[in-house]
Structure 1
Amino acid sequence: MLRAGALAAVPALAMGEQTPGLAASRRRPTVFVAGDSTAATYATADHPRAGWGQALPVFLHDGVRVVNEALSGASSKSFYDLGRLDRIRAAIRPGDTLLISFGHNDEKITDPARGTDPWTTFQEHLRLYLDGARAARATPILVTPVERRRFTADGTPYLSHGDYPAAMTALATETGTELIDLTRLSFDLWSRLGPEATKDHLLWLEPGESVNYPDGVQDNTHFQAHGAIEVARLVVANSRGIPGRDRRALCDTDIPDDVLTWPPTRPAEGIEGV
């Protein structure tokens, strides 16, 4: 039963495609994504911006569906309050998987609609996602927030998420939930690449390089296609519970950006943020 405010129409995404209704009968295992703009699926008008949830199917066999409910601007609290968890619970089935990745917008503690405290309300909200998946006999997986591109003037990378990754890690241990430490994994990747090479992963574009960003853009949080693909690789490669992992794709270091597709409109429209 959906709470008041739950949305009626639910996009089902597989490489940008939509099917009519999440609750429809199906046989294929499904990976649901609950998260923020770093994981979201973007539209043609946003190209080459992409989220890691948009790129997940690249590393999964065709027998697995991806339903990317990640929403721009969402925190663990606002995603729940908007009825987005209800919408997943209405569709998730035994044997499915729910990836849960928040933190970027939970850090906005001055915003009462989104901010949470890492050791209290953040963990309390995450428990709602764990309980919702387990009540449906699905598998929840916690994913710490992907790290931002942050370097000091001398090129030294630094962490930006405070206690939120540690709070999620502690909750995973307490509840026996699989954890993908994407904060650490992405930080290690950015550290290896350095300040300049990371610009090819994050949404850094020169003026005139993209018709969608005619004045250029310097975004240290969101990804272009290449970065979304590489972060999705980290997620799938470091999980025991995601079904249908394509080992050949995971070993392919030359996946082209145009393997991704961008739908005409953002499938999970919502508040803008991070």
Structure 2
Amino acid sequence: MRAALGGAVASAYQMSPAEATGRRRTVFVAGDSTAATYATADVPRAGWGQALHVFLRPEMTVENAALSGASSKSFADLGRLDRILAAIGPGDVLLVSFAHNDEKTEDPARYTEPWTTFQDYLRLYLDGARARKARPILVTPVERRRFRADGTPYLSHGEYPDSMRALAEATRTPLIDLTASSFALWSALGPEATKDHFLWLDPGEEPNYPDGAADNTHFQAHGAIEVARLVAAGVPGRDRCALRDPDIPDDVLTWPPTRPAES
């Protein structure tokens, strides 16, 4: 497994047209439920895209278009990619992170094959961003909370991360290897400590989840923040001071009245 290639992004970074004109640069996020922004009815559930702004400099803004349940195919087929491409401009960044729902073989509206249709759809994002002089970055899918009975972690995304790595190399696209970095984090934390990152709640602990939760895919605020930290390390415009701060509080996140990507 390769380490996250944040350095490759940084080394390629020069003053953008947006910086030269004084326009604020925007980081657009195309992804699924692990990155999505959630609403007050979902608290404390949060996605890493919801927390990304915490680790970016003030002149950067985030447009989180990540949609729960989306795959690279369904996101494009629903016109969500077209919305991003209508808004993105020179010097902006497009983070592209899918696979969780591309893996669903039983759903033809979302399923893609890792070495064919998955790469074909991802190329639409890369080519569309580049045509508008924006910077695409591929982000491999964040790992789920998966541990064997003996406490050892295991990978869950099959060939999809390798497919993204190969596409990044073939198209000379920067890659943030979130699969590798998140797997390393979950491995270091272990089965119990990871529950504070994922949406694990006791009955009665949170009003929105009266029966509790044991979700090994989605995050509560702390987990969303720490995954956003892993992503932001490879994003132009990152705030190095924030990235070095180990004590980012959960209350830096806000939850809008409705899920913006679904409104």
Instruction: Report the TM-score, using the length of structure 1 for normalisation.
Output: 0.87
The equivalent residue for 2:194 is 198
Unmatched segments (≥5 aa) in structure 2: 1-21
Indicate the SS of the match to 1:86. Answer: helix
Indicate the SS of the match to 1:90. Answer: helix
Shift of 1:99: 0.0
CA contact 1:73–1:105 (8 Å) conserved in 2: yes
CA contact 1:64–1:244 (8 Å) conserved in 2: yes
| Residue 176 of structure 1 pairs with residue 172 of structure 2 | yes
Shift of 1:269: 1.1
CA contact 1:34–1:100 (8 Å) conserved in 2: yes
The equivalent residue for 1:141 is 137
Equivalences for residues 57-136 of structure 1 within 5 A: 57-136=53-132
One-letter code aligned to 2:83: R
CA contact 1:58–1:249 (8 Å) conserved in 2: yes
- The 10-residue stretch of structure 1 (190-199 or 56-65) with the greater mean CA deviation from structure 2: 56-65
The equivalent residue for 2:49 is 53
Which string of whole-angstrom CA distances, capped at 9 and with x for unpartnered residues, describes residues 124-179 of structure 1?
00000000000000000000000000000110100000000000000000000000
State how far apart, in whole Å, the 1-side matches of 2:117 and 2:56 are.
Answer: 33
Shift of 1:35: 0.2
Indicate the SS of the match to 2:199. Answer: strand
Shift of 1:244: 1.9
| Residue 244 of structure 1 pairs with residue 225 of structure 2 | no
State how far apart, in whole Å, the 2-side matches of 1:207 and 1:184 are.
Answer: 32
State how far apart, in whole Å, the 2-side matches of 1:243 and 1:121 are.
Answer: 29
Q: How many residues align?
A: 242
Unmatched segments (≥5 aa) in structure 1: 1-25
| Residue 42 of structure 1 pairs with residue 38 of structure 2 | yes
CA contact 1:42–1:266 (8 Å) conserved in 2: yes
State how far apart, in whole Å, the 1-side matches of 2:156 and 2:237 are.
Answer: 32
The equivalent residue for 1:256 is 249
Indicate the SS of the match to 1:137. Answer: coil
One-letter code aligned to 1:44: T
Regions of 4+ moved over 6 Å = none
State how far apart, in whole Å, the 2-side matches of 1:245 and 1:61 are.
Answer: 6
CA contact 1:29–1:243 (8 Å) conserved in 2: no
One-letter code aligned to 1:243: P
CA contact 1:203–1:219 (8 Å) conserved in 2: yes
RMSD over aligned CA atoms reads 0.9
- The 10-residue stretch of structure 1 (204-213 or 243-252) with the greater mean CA deviation from structure 2: 243-252
Shift of 1:243: 2.7
Which string of whole-angstrom CA distances, capped at 9 and with x for unpartnered residues, describes residues 98-124 of structure 1?
000000000001200000000000000
Indicate the SS of the match to 2:261. Answer: coil
One-letter code aligned to 1:208: G
State how far apart, in whole Å, the 2-side matches of 1:143 and 1:161 are.
Answer: 13
One-letter code aligned to 2:174: E
CA contact 1:64–1:243 (8 Å) conserved in 2: no
The equivalent residue for 1:16 is none
The equivalent residue for 2:205 is 209
The equivalent residue for 1:14 is none
The equivalent residue for 1:266 is 259
State how far apart, in whole Å, the 2-side matches of 1:144 and 1:232 are.
Answer: 13
Of all paired residues, the percent bearing the same amino acid is 79
The equivalent residue for 1:17 is none
The equivalent residue for 1:219 is 215
State how far apart, in whole Å, the 2-side matches of 1:116 and 1:142 are.
Answer: 17
Shift of 1:62: 1.4
State how far apart, in whole Å, the 1-side matches of 2:224 and 2:139 are.
Answer: 15
Instruction: Report the TM-score, using the length of structure 2 for normalisation.
Output: 0.91
CA contact 1:41–1:51 (8 Å) conserved in 2: yes
